[in-house]
Chains A and B, each alone.
Chain A
Amino acid sequence: MVILGVTGSIMEFEPELDRLLHPELSYITPEGRALSLSEIGDAASRRFSGEPVVAYLPSLSPNLSSQVVLPSGIAFVNQHTGEVLGMRTRGPTFLGYMRELHVRLAGGSFGRKIMKLSGIAMFLSVASGLYLWWPIKQVRVRGKWGTRRLWFDLHNAVGIVSVLPLAILAATGTVIGFEDQLGPLIYKLTRSSPIHVTRSVPPEPAPGAIAMTPDEAVAIARAHMPGAIPYRVQMPKYGGLYVIALLNPTERIAGDENVVALDPYDGHVVSLSRSSELSRGDRILAANEAIHTGSILGMPSRIVVWLASTMVVVQAWSGLFMWRSGNRAKLAASRPVETRRGVS
């Protein structure tokens, strides 16, 4: 549970931490108009031996760089000047390891089972803590530093303040962990089914046909999703179609699940899925995930999730000290009086 808390608190601000760890690649000074995707892709491809562009990850903020996915890694480009800031090659990182610990204890199938059960254990721990707190209803911290009373008061005070967010985190995490088992039940209860997007095989292009540019593809996608912002553009060489993922900033639940797939030659829409058209079951599962990650209400809920995750560590720490102090007290009480006075 401590691992869940520590890794969860780190993951809560993973994008921000990732940028802090790579400031030279991430942050730029906005100046002038933003270049087109083709210009950004050409700059990255030229810098890295003519590698083809696999996908674009356009910037969502003027002071953050755009990313171009290449076979050898992810290139970071200043979308205002075309300057290639550098590349990150694929491989494990500290933040990736934190996610692996959180999801599967970095230990494959066995670790995955442990972490799934840890969610249930955390929920039971929170419930038992509330049961123990209820008769005493202790909220204030009055004990002196280093005493068992301090740890007892701290455990009670922090516990009652964080009981609701921790219970919600444990419950939503358990639903995510057991989605294969709980998902069918949710769809059955809501009389809905998961939305499956089927895409037909793109037809062979006519001889001499020229594929449209990524900017033209994005313009078509935006026309179908007014107000949505493209955050990922997959190139047709990699997948057969232009696949454009868009973020709807007004949708708190699954706002990033808007996807338009286009024929790269004639531009007709092969498939289109909107976050607003998710089935009831899909929406419940997406809402569960948004609550667990804290994205449901934006920054305020992310801070609550971060605080609650951190409180798990405080609870474990204070609980451990209470247990140690209790054991010492019992040990001291069990010694003969002479020994306690220092007479051997």
Chain B
Amino acid sequence: MKKAIAVVLLLAMHAMAVDLSGKWSGSFKADGADHDVPQLFIFKQVGNKLTGSGGPDQSEQYPIEDGQIDGDRVKFAITTGEWRFTYSLRAIDANLTGDLELKSVDNRRTAKVNLRRAQ
């Protein structure tokens, strides 16, 4: 009986997990870069799938690709042209923080990202 209650509680907690849908903003600075790059994402979460768009600002948005949510882990990618950005983030409190891998046809760079829910 106790086990059943624990399972139900866990499932309920999972169902109550934060919905990422909405606007998230922040920035990243690639390792060795001189500038911060602004970020704005408009997420749509359905179950463990993440869709929507992202880019530097509202006027330049690229579709979210391969968006997956697994517990507090969030993975997705955007292709802005020659560069593909692959995000591996964790939802911690009201933030999404983690790593970004940037790959072009001849280069690979990394960055730390921090996003906060935008008002």
Instruction: List residues of A whose CB falls within 8 A of some B CB.
Output: 18, 54-55, 69, 71, 73-74, 88-93, 95-96, 99-100, 103-104, 107-109, 111-112, 179-180, 198-202, 232, 234, 237-240
Name the distance in Å between B111's Cβ and chain A's nearest Cβ. 10
Q: Is B26 an interface residue (CB 8 A)?
A: no
Q: Is B52 an interface residue (CB 8 A)?
A: no
What residues of A have a CB within 8 angstroms of the CB of B63 in the complex? 237-238
| Interface secondary structure of A, over-half rule | mixed
Q: Are B60 and A239 in contact (CB under 8 A)?
A: yes
7 contacts between A and B (CB under 8 A): A18-B106, A71-B65, A89-B105, A104-B32, A112-B33, A234-B81, A239-B60
Name the distance in Å between A24's Cβ and chain B's nearest Cβ. 16
Bound: A180/B58 CA distance, A: 26
With A90-B104, A238-B80 in contact, is A108–B61 under 8 Å at CB?
no
Bound: A179/B59 CA distance, A: 27
What residues of A have a CB within 8 angstroms of the CB of B77 in the complex? 71
Bound: A232/B87 CA distance, A: 26
What residues of B have a CB within 8 angstroms of the CB of A200 in the complex? 59
Name the distance in Å between A333's Cβ and chain B's nearest Cβ. 47
Name the distance in Å between A245's Cβ and chain B's nearest Cβ. 10
What residues of A have a CB within 8 angstroms of the CB of B60 in the complex? 199, 239-240
Bound: A104/B110 CA distance, A: 13
Q: Is B82 an interface residue (CB 8 A)?
A: yes
Bound: A71/B79 CA distance, A: 6
Residue of A88, A96, A111 most packed against chain B (CB within 10 A): A96
Q: Are B32 and A109 in contact (CB under 8 A)?
A: yes
With A111-B32, A180-B34, A199-B59 in contact, is A239–B80 under 8 Å at CB?
yes
Residue of B35, B65, B103 most packed against chain A (CB within 10 A): B103
Name the distance in Å between B42's Cβ and chain A's nearest Cβ. 11
Name the distance in Å between A53's Cβ and chain B's nearest Cβ. 11
Q: Are A107 and B32 in contact (CB under 8 A)?
A: yes
Name the distance in Å between A191's Cβ and chain B's nearest Cβ. 24
Q: Are B105 and A90 in contact (CB under 8 A)?
A: yes
Q: Is B62 an interface residue (CB 8 A)?
A: yes
Bound: A116/B65 CA distance, A: 37
Bound: A99/B32 CA distance, A: 13
Q: Are A238 and B82 in contact (CB under 8 A)?
A: no
What residues of A have a CB within 8 angstroms of the CB of B83 in the complex? 90
Out of A54, A104, A179, name the residue touching B79 (CB < 8 Å): A54
